Structure 1
């Protein structure tokens, strides 16, 4: 149980850090970086969603 909880905590920290990094990149007001973030989010959702067992 403890190992699973530590793993989930580290995964959450990674998500938060990456989210803030993407936010800072988008806030640079560079249209290409913004479009890259949108395209990456779209592609990531398209690839990962079927692996979640809900698709």
Structure 2
């Protein structure tokens, strides 16, 4: 979606990675509020690495 919104934006890969990082952080925060689940910063970094690749 970022590629369609910012077609001439030279840092669109990094923009996608930052958006993915923020969404992953929000997801892990939500997971910390859910009983029986634990948040992991490694999950956030794995998702961000996927967005970069």
Per the normalisation by structure 1, the TM-score is 0.49
Aligned to 2:27: 21
**CA RMSD, aligned part only?**
2.0
Per the normalisation by structure 2, the TM-score is 0.51
Unaligned 5+ segments in structure 2 are 1-8, 46-53
Tell me the matched-pair count.
35
What do the CA deviations read for 1:13-34 (whole angstroms, capped 9, x no partner)?
000001100110111132xx11
